[in-house]
């Protein structure tokens, strides 16, 4: 028996996982439906956005099931006496979705090919390094030096990602419209703020002496971060794609009209 939670603590995490599942599922459906509202050349970015929430949806279903399987209700409390809670699902999810999140931001901007390739390569490598370096610390004892060392090591690629997004990507935005630049700024600050939730949740067990409370804060914190970093991030990517499509003269309402009908409809 590793952990004992009150009903309120258990169901707070339970409901947080349930909320994330609903958010990812709703976002998946929305991103599919809105695909026709953007020009075809931005479909790749929307495909990446849709994949992110689909992958997260699947893994949160597994996380939800693992949480339920790990606990039994005994004497008015939830006792962890079943299968071990599998934290690995979360890191596998991040290993897949974090590079895709960064890729969708770069792809939707339609920068020159050389810039796109360079940014994608460096951001994806840094994202993978960040996740892989964080995992050993996550499974290390709470008060161990190893947890601190791996946490610091994971922070280094995170800071590099911020440098690329705020400094190098910023130099590539000069040719973008003011509306697109504002949306990209919002995306970058979402990354800065929401990704800042993850290290706070990571170090919660070191700050909070009560083991049960620390676990609840960690799981809920990660869940909040995932909702903000995936569906919300995806919505802004969609907004960028729609804005750029309009700037390119794309009108989704004219799709499928016979030749000449577009001009006629615009004058009626």
In total, how many domains does the chain have? Answer: 1
| Tokens standing for residue 36 | 């026709």
Residue 82 phi, psi dihedral angles, 5° rounding = -105, -145
The residues with which 261 forms a beta bridge, in sequence order, are none
Residue with tokens 């960690």: 218
* Residue range 159-182, pLDDT digits in tens: 999 898 888 777 776 777 788 878
Burial label, 41 (beta-carbon count in 10 A; 0-12, 13-18, 19+): middle
Where residue 254 falls among pLDDT bands split at 50, 70, 90?
A: low
Question: Is residue 19 within 8 Å of 223, Cβ to Cβ?
Answer: yes
Residue with tokens 């000069």: 174
The mean pLDDT value of the chain amounts to: 88
The pLDDT value given to residue 38: 93
| In a domain? residue 192 | yes
| In a domain? residue 40 | yes
* Residue range 106-119, pLDDT digits in tens: 888 888 888 889 99
The pLDDT value given to residue 141: 86
Where residue 256 falls among pLDDT bands split at 50, 70, 90?
A: low
| In a domain? residue 256 | no
* Residue range 185-202, pLDDT digits in tens: 887 888 888 888 888 888
- Give the whole-angstrom CA distance, residue 105 versus residue 103: 5
The pLDDT value given to residue 255: 59
The pLDDT value given to residue 183: 80
DSSP string of 83-143, one letter each residue: SPP-THHHHHHHHHHHHHHHHHHHHHHT--HHHHHHHHHHHHHHHHHHHHHHHHHHTS-TT
| Tokens standing for residue 112 | 């020159």
The pLDDT value given to residue 115: 84
| Per-residue burial over 195-216, b = 16 or more CB atoms within 10 Å of its CB, e = otherwise | bebbbebbbbbeebeeebebbb
Where residue 259 falls among pLDDT bands split at 50, 70, 90?
A: very low
Question: Is residue 221 within 8 Å of 204, Cβ to Cβ?
Answer: yes
Helices (H), 164-230: 169-171, 178-194, 197-207, 211-227
* pTM, full prediction: 0.88
Tell me the mean pLDDT in the region 122-143.
92
Question: Which one is predicted more confidently, 136 or 261?
Answer: 136
Q: What is the largest CA-CA distance in the chain?
A: 74
* Residue range 53-100, pLDDT digits in tens: 999 999 999 999 999 999 999 989 999 987 889 989 999 999 999 999
Checking if the pLDDT of 7 tops 90, the result is yes
| In a domain? residue 202 | yes
Domain that holds residue 153: 4-251
Checking if the pLDDT of 262 tops 60, the result is no
User: Given the DSSP bridges, would you call strands 4-5 and 77-80 parallel, antiparallel or unpaired?
Assistant: antiparallel
| In a domain? residue 258 | no
The pLDDT value given to residue 268: 45
CATH number of residue 229's parent domain: 1.20.1070.10
The pLDDT value given to residue 10: 97
| In a domain? residue 225 | yes
Question: Which one is predicted more confidently, 154 or 192?
Answer: 154
| In a domain? residue 169 | yes
| In a domain? residue 263 | no
Distances in whole angstroms, Cα of residue 199 to Cα of each of 103, 158, 186, 228 = 22, 11, 21, 15
């Amino acid at each position: 028996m590793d952990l004992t939670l009150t009903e309120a603590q258990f169901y707070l995490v339970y409901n947080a996982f349930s909320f994330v599942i609903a958010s990812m599922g709703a976002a998946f459906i929305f991103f599919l439906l809105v695909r026709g509202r953007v020009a075809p050349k931005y479909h790749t970015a929307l495909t990446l956005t849709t994949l992110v929430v689909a992958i997260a949806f699947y893994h949160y279903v597994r996380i939800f099931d693992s949480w339920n399987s790990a606990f039994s209700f005994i004497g008015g409390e939830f006792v962890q006496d079943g299968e071990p809670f599998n934290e690995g699902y979360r890191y596998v999810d991040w290993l897949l979705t974090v590079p895709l999140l960064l890729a969708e931001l770069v792809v939707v901007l339609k920068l020159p090919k050389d810039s796109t390739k360079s940014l994608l390569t460096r951001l994806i490598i840094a994202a993978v390094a960040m996740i892989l370096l964080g995992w050993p610390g996550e499974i290390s004892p709470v008060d161990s030096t190893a947890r601190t060392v791996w946490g610091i090591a994971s922070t280094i690629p995170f800071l590099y990602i911020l440098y690329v997004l705020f400094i190098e990507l910023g130099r590539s935005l000069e040719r973008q419209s003011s509306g697109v630049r504002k949306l990209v700024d919002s995306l970058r600050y979402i990354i800065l703020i929401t990704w800042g939730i993850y290290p706070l949740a990571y170090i919660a067990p070191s700050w909070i002496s009560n083991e049960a409370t620390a676990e609840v804060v960690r799981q809920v914190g990660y869940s909040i971060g995932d909702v903000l970093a995936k569906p919300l991030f995806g919505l802004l990517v969609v907004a960028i794609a729609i804005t750029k499509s309009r700037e390119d003269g794309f009108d989704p309402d004219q799709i499928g009209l016979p030749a000449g009908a577009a001009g006629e409809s615009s004058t009626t």
